[in-house]
Structure 1
Amino acid sequence: MTQPGLQTSGGVASTPEGFDADTPRGARRLRGGAPAPAGDVVHLPRRPFGKYFRETGWRHLIGVAMLIFAAFPLLYVLSASLNPGGTLMTANTLFSTIDLGSYVELFNRPQQPYAAWFGNTLFIGLASAAGTVLLGALAAYSFSRMRFTGRRVGLITLLLVQMFPQLLAMVAIFLLMSGIAEIFPAIGLNTQIGLIMVYLGGALGVNTYLMYGFFNTVPSSIDEAAKLDGAGHARIFFTIILRLVAPILAVVGLLSFLGTMSEFVIASVILIDPEKQTLAVGLYQFISQETSSNWSVFAAGAVLAAIIPVALFLALQRFIVGGLTAGSVK
């Protein structure tokens, strides 16, 4: 590779007139060994615009276009939440009207308790994320470190089960939760604990397989050294391994929380009472009725609901790339 600012001719790097090619950048010397006068500014020749655009400029152009494409829907929803007109058609002009009335009305509807929906979503999302991380990590550690009969079949089964969407089991889930409610009402139909258990069962397979690849990147010699000191599997897992696999734990927890917040079908079937519903189910009430659709209030609720996922994403973004790619190769 040639240094920045060097011109090439026939594959051989050349420098601007009067400078040595092997001199480090920031310490340019005149030909003959004499250093450049102190305080002089060395101006390197700029690349022509055509060459710049062919090499890197087109990438910047595509990046700006994708940024506009991704940001426009967000700005449109924000503009609609500040427009008290009640329809999305009145929000065609972005930020033509700025009024916080929709945000105030959002919390003044007793029959549609947005604050309760928000709290329910946080409880269900955090509980599901914590349970998914713990159960997935335990299963992944077992598959990665232990050798037992049915290990390979179990991994393949986990992968195959995820090929069928959970939507196909909606009738079975409803009948199962109805039967459980007759025996254990606290974890049956129309309970948040029951919904959390359904989420944990549905997300265990894919997260276990994702963590399994990451656990394999941790050297097994660490486990062997700990066993020589008398540590068992539980001590190794909770005191050593969990700290080393923190990136994948953060990724799985974040994905589980986001998936729980946006999930609609299962939550709408299991949760019946309005005060127990989640944001995804509750917000739908603002636009589900043909004669009383209020898109402005719906947009305001969507904007507030997006604050926590965005904050979590920004807080955990340094773990995301490493957590998703570290277990992809061995």
Structure 2
Amino acid sequence: MNRTRPLTRAGQYLALLAYLLFLGYPLLWLVSISLKGARELASIHPSLIPRSLVWDNYRIALTDQGLLRSALNSVLTSVGATVIVIVVSVPAAYALTRFRNGARTAATLWILISQVFPTILIVIPLFLLLKSFGLLDSLPGLTVVYVVWTLPFALWMLMGYMASVPQEVEEAAAVDGAGRFRVVFSVVLPLLTPGIVATAMFAFISAWNEFFFALVLISTTEKRTLALTLAKYVGSEGQLQLGPLAAGSVLATVPSLVFFLFLQKRLSGGLLAGAVKG
């Protein structure tokens, strides 16, 4: 047993390293392309390491296409949709998990049915609804669409996490004299922190990377999201601006990485913190 443990651990580290290389290699190529000039990009035998660093692609991405304004629009819609999804789905998941009745079955069917229909079938009804409410071609309207589209799966995720929280903990707090709201806020929510963080990551990334709804519902240049602006690097005649596109894509990954780094510590720390508070 003592001899096989180092071999097993070495195999685990090798598998983890291979997985990291598999995930990181496309990102390395993206950064490499963003630092190459047009002549080097047209080379028949491209190399991973640029021959000379060309920062002009980042200047073009930041100035010529309005990338910063589009990034701000994406931040507003993504963060807004994430906050609304969490605020709605947390109490809904608690009610559907703890109080078993007909509403749980109806909610489960709603979640499953909402994931069956393709996006193209619901975009026309959404277009007409937003137009009737005066929310067409607006960031609040796009945020509402992201909430509606993300909420079913987010609720499904939180119901799974909520079911893993033992009811005995709530019963013990109730025996000590805590009311329902005190039990939820002081016991359940700290224990549910990893699930809330994971659901928030899912909601944010889904809204941040979404393209189709924004393409149909947004027509004003100043209200474009980041995905729409990056698509503009493909010219009307199919001419691809590869360098600025890569530079813009690199910049577009920064908010997602910051959001993930800010929340990932709570994935592992939330459960322990909740256990201590409970």
- Any idea what the Cα deviations from partners look like across 1:209-251, whole Å, max 9, x if unmatched? 111111122222333344452523x443334321110000100
Amino acid paired to 1:128: A
**1:108-145 CA distances to partner (integer Å, 9 max, x unpaired)?**
22xx3111111111111111111111111111011012
Q: Considering fraction of residues, name the structure with more helix.
A: 2
SS at match of 1:317: helix
Report the equivalent of 1:107: 62
Distance in 1 separating the partners of 2:173 and 2:10: 53
2:47: which partner in 1? Answer: 93
Shift of 1:63: 4.8
Which TM-score applies when normalising by structure 2? 0.84
- Percent of counterpart pairs with the same letter? 26
Q: Report the counterpart of residue 266 of structure 1 in structure 2.
A: 213
- Residue 132 (structure 1) aligns with: 85
Distance 1:205 1:98, change over 3 A: same
Aligned to 2:249: 302
The separation in 2 between residues aligned to 1:289 and 1:283, in whole angstroms, is 14
- 1:158/1:206 contact within 8 Å kept: yes
Which among 227, 231, 249 is matched to residue 280 of structure 1? 227
Provide the residue aligned with 1:245 in structure 2: 192
The separation in 1 between residues aligned to 2:77 and 2:235, in whole angstroms, is 24
Secondary structure at the aligned position of 2:188 is classed as helix
Q: What is the CA distance between 1:300 and its match in structure 2?
A: 0.7
Write the distance in 2 (CA, Å) between the matches of 1:270 and 1:321.
38
Residue 275 of structure 2 corresponds to none
Q: Which amino acid aligns with 1:316?
A: L
| 2:124 equivalent in structure 1 | 171
Report the Cα offset of residue 5 of structure 1: 8.0
8 Å contact kept, 2:150–2:206: no
Q: Is the 8 A contact 2:40 2:46 kept in 1?
A: no
Q: Distance in 2 between matches of 1:262 and 1:255?
A: 11
- Aligned residue runs from structure 1 range 1-330, under 5 A: 2-4=1-3, 63-85=16-38, 88-90=41-43, 92-94=46-48, 95-109=50-64, 112-181=65-134, 188-227=135-174, 229=177, 231-232=179-180, 234-290=181-237, 293-318=240-265
Shift of 1:322: 9.6
Runs of 5+ unmatched residues, structure 2: 271-278
Matched AA of 1:75: L
Structure 1 residues 5 and 270: alpha-carbon distance in aligned structure 2, compared to 1, 3 A threshold: closer
Deviation at 1:258, TM superposition (A): 1.0
Q: 1:74 to 1:145 in 2, by over 3 A?
A: same
Unaligned runs of 5+ residues in structure 1 are 7-46, 182-187, 324-330
Aligned AA for 2:247? A
Distance in 1 between residues matched to 2:4 and 2:238, nearest whole Å: 66
Contact 2:138/2:218, CA 8 A, preserved across alignment: yes
Amino acid in the other structure paired with 1:136:
S
Tell me the secondary structure at the aligned position of residue 216 of structure 1.
helix
- The structure showing larger relative contact order (alpha-carbon pairs under 8 Å, at least 6 residues apart) is 2
Structure 1 position 256, deviation (Å) = 1.0
Task: Indicate the SS of the match to 1:107.
Answer: helix
Q: 1:291 to 1:247 in 2, by over 3 A?
A: closer
Partners of 1:108 and 1:167 in 2: CA distance: 33
When the two structures are superposed, what TM-score results if normalisation uses the length of structure 1?
Answer: 0.72
Which stretch shows the higher mean deviation, 85-94 or 251-260?
A: 85-94
Contact in 2 for aligned 1:106/1:114 (Cα 8 Å): yes
Q: What secondary structure sits across from 1:306 in the alignment?
A: helix
Residues 143 and 100 of structure 1, relative CA distance in 2, 3 Å threshold? same
Report deviation, 1:269: 1.1
